Structure 1
């Protein structure tokens, strides 16, 4: 295995247990100076060293398969050595996943290694997954019309090879080929992605998970005034078709191009062929349980902001139980815009 050293920007928090069984969190060095995490492969794991701005090592440990450690939240990592614990907080999600994926490789180095691991340097693998974990790179590939359209044509024009089949999409990236497989009639699709892109791919959805029929809100652009679009209130009442947790609302749009001779429709519905807008899914802060036949009602308020987008206010309730939930979301957030 090629020896390599990775470097990451982190903050370091020491976790101590008090006499009452609670926890105390102490930032290192009582200052805001930047810290650098060095990760070096060892025979059965990795050596971690945290270096301050003066080049002084303020924390050092070895991590292997026996070390007590786990991911915390989106981009932090907790390590316990003996009776002491430290929390490494990374500056970005991509940087965290580069560290996290490399650590899994290092910790598994004493096991039988895969053919990929045997012929690939660890640093190269980490760089590869970091590259394809960037939203901009996935967007660049999807906007390559020749590439994307050829893949789609190859799958849809051979739909008999996919109809009612189970498909494994290894290295699915954004999940675009998995969508094509579903369009071609695949019974089930397993989309597998090793980079941080998996977080975004898993948040897209298929129409089969929708718990109610869609409701429609219409804007007539021939009659609407500009001010009408600054604030839009959309009431909704859904009749639940299957019992389960309602995690949020899905949004998409249809546009009618009304001509003098023919009206042409553009649809971004999940039941129609995929577009680059995808759909928007807006989660409630707390999921609500609803039974089949119950009604789920509320309103969505879209308020134009100065970021060329909308703030979305969701208020929802299961009418039969009175349970309520809601959320306030920024549609400009890339997490939404990439999967619109």
Structure 2
């Protein structure tokens, strides 16, 4: 629609309006009415011809002017800029002039109606109502004011650049409590318009009045920036328009609207001037497992008698469809950053509607990439002292924290690999964005396809995670209360960050095993000192240097007809130590199903070197519903006694007749069932990253098996639940789910098993997806140290009560490497 022509109508007469049209008192003052198109609005002004003064200035709306009769018009004066609402009567001396006024009004009103409210057109009303309601509450303003990094940096940027404000007209866009307006006045602004649409405008007036020395220069304008008018252009815009990932809430668009509408066309300044968004790859097994565990609630086949498993996949998609907001440990960052810069002084608003960030991220270590970690910086480009405000990891934490987009399917990568793709932000009318991720990585092996991962997250619906300890102690004003400049690209190299606290049972000491030696740690203000590492002592006293002996015991699981209607066979491999005397402790190892036996060679060989005899199931298919495998321990005990009867004459070591059992993945469920059913034979239980089929009865009964067992247990990797359906609320309650005191050790870690690639230098880890295991990969040999030590300690503890006085929690750092090396950060 073409923009209507500007028009000025003169020779109108002004009248005072009484209680009725008959009481009009004509003063005979001649006025002129001007309608001037200004973008998507029309400005209406009335001026006294004789005095040359402006009587009224407002935005023309459909109900601004009403024709009372042929030549009489009523102009409604809105409540704007602190003025009182009211009406002005205008009389046209001729019918011809009245028709001219009507035609001009209709032309401009049609243009206004066609354009609509710029804010209302792009914003869902329910979203905007909630938005202004939220920011109209003092407690939410306090949350922002009490972010001393934010508030202090703004104060420094304004005060240190006082020449940019002295004698200037300033507009505070979305003023909130008016704190930035008062800062501008402190810096010498002659006039500050504090524009605020929420109920907070009334509190801003109170604050300005209470600080009259500077507040007298602050005028609070209640209304949205898109609908108000000001009597003059402004020299400087100040605002805090940043949301999560810089652009959430779409306040930046209002900031640019204010620039186009109110800022002087030449020489105007904006505080802030620039914004930069960063994205880099991260690896965090703990977080990935946490999201999976949240959805695991929906894997219950009988939730108060209701099967809710059909909702598992939508729930899982929902959790991975949230962005995660928390304070990131920089050590999880595994690549340099891609970035996108926004120049608020030069860019167009439309550039914020669809944002694309191309990605080419070089990975710095072997790991699994779980998604993108994002944050932002802003620049106050003052003429005296430019200032950066950063929300980067490793820097002082702000109320924005950082943000992560987590992929449901991670990417397995090596150092030097490039993860490529793009991150798109598509705006929507709920004042936020949909984030679309498309990532690619090299194949996991020769002949394999290129890895691809996609994700869609709603920036409007974040998962606020671990945000209860970010409060900052304010610095003095002399210190500037600011972060200073920084190079955000260097953040990925930082090794500093917030550390998760290790949780300890109230009835026990906190023991932290550290493969690298003793050290002291501070966790949440409590200093924790490690004890000597018993694993090293174990290896020193139980070293069996000769190659292990291997026996194969053919076995038929009696009563199991799940293999095509016939009896199922599953050989048992017996691995015995050599070069050290017996009797050797016995550990039955139940592998995860679908994993080849060769995968566990590192654990089994390592246990043999530590003086353990292992009995390993070789069956790799899932168990039948009756789980008959767990009933062979009586048979095993008979075999052990037969072996011992002939061991001396055969020149081999004897076996202890008490048995420990360990299970990995779904084998952990069978191990728990075996322990619960036969506590008289099994003396200790070790669960390695246990999970179960959610629809299996074993899942429902695992906790009851653990409770029935009542002897020392160890859980390595509490991030994945041992059961899905019997623990309402997920794995967080797992440590207290069994009988009190029965947990001898909980090794807190994340993710499934980590696998050691033989090709890199010793100690370099490659984390592989357990659903696609390469038989050339083996479990890191350090894991057998942990299992061997646990088996001995658990066996010596004897009962749960004795175990509770010993070591109850064995904490390890996040990521697979932490569980294997037992190093706390």
TM-score range, shorter chain: 0.3 to 0.5
Greater C-alpha Rg: 2
More strand by share: 1
Normalised to the residue count of structure 2, the TM-score between the two structures is: 0.18
